[in-house]
């Protein structure tokens, strides 16, 4: 393989150690997921990692600004498709919690475009694991990185899960959001560690 066929391991390690998600720690509504989707191939992951690094290695990003930078900004523009089922569900939860009835697709679209995961709005979307992946069974990082903790999905999870759980707990205690929602899968992980 040529050198351009490898991730910049320094950037990759910084991402693993530093990146937690999108939005605003001051927000009232926090959602903690497994990891963001995407990352189907080397080019996509490399683009995401390099742009995140070039933007300043932020712990949390503005979701719309970051996605615009990586070429997926259409989700935050007028007429945006509602093609991320997780986002639709989160938005329904928020709007319901705020007392909205009869939530329709236009309500969801408007919230996605204007408020979801924005640095100065009411949501914080955190990820238990910092690297994008389309599923837990999919793992290509070992093919394009020399970092030993990326040799398998299990070594990666073992490497970062306890540190990340503790960091997220600390942020919750520090910022005291109105609501924190975990996926069912995460309830076991947070309870065990």
Q: Which two tokens stand for residue 16?
A: 């693993």
Say if residues 173 and 180 touch (Cβ distance below 8 Å): no
Q: Rg of the chain's alpha carbons, rounded to an integer?
A: 17
Report the DSSP pairing between strands 179-182 and 60-61.
unpaired
Residue ranges of the domains in the chain? Answer: 31-45+124-187, 61-120
DSSP string, 50-67: HHHHHTT--SEE-HHHHH
Reported as a single tens digit per residue, the pLDDT across 22-49 is: 999 999 999 999 999 988 999 999 999 9
Q: Identify the segments of the chain with pLDDT beneath 50.
A: 1-2, 186-187, 191-193
Q: Which two tokens stand for residue 40?
A: 């189907």
Q: Which two tokens stand for residue 143?
A: 């093919």
């Amino acid at each position: 393989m040529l050198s351009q066929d490898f991730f910049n391991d320094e950037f990759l390690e910084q991402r693993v150690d530093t990146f937690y998600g999108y939005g605003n720690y001051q927000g009232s509504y926090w959602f903690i997921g497994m990891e963001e989707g995407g990352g189907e191939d080397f080019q996509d992951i490399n683009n995401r990692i390099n742009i995140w690094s070039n933007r300043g290695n932020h712990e949390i990003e503005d979701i719309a600004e970051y996605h615009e930078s990586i070429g997926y900004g259409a989700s935050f523009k007028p007429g945006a498709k509602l093609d991320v089922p997780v986002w639709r569900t989160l938005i329904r939860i928020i709007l319901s919690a705020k007392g909205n009835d009869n939530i329709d697709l236009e309500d969801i679209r408007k919230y996605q475009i204007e408020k979801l995961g924005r640095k100065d709005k009411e949501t914080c979307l955190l990820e238990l694991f910092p690297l994008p992946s389309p599923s837990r069974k999919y793992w290509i990082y070992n093919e394009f990185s020399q970092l030993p903790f990326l040799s398998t999905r299990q070594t990666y999870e073992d490497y970062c899960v306890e540190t990340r759980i503790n960091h997220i707990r600390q942020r919750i205690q520090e910022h005291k959001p109105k609501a924190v929602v975990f996926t069912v899968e995460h309830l076991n992980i947070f309870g065990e560690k």
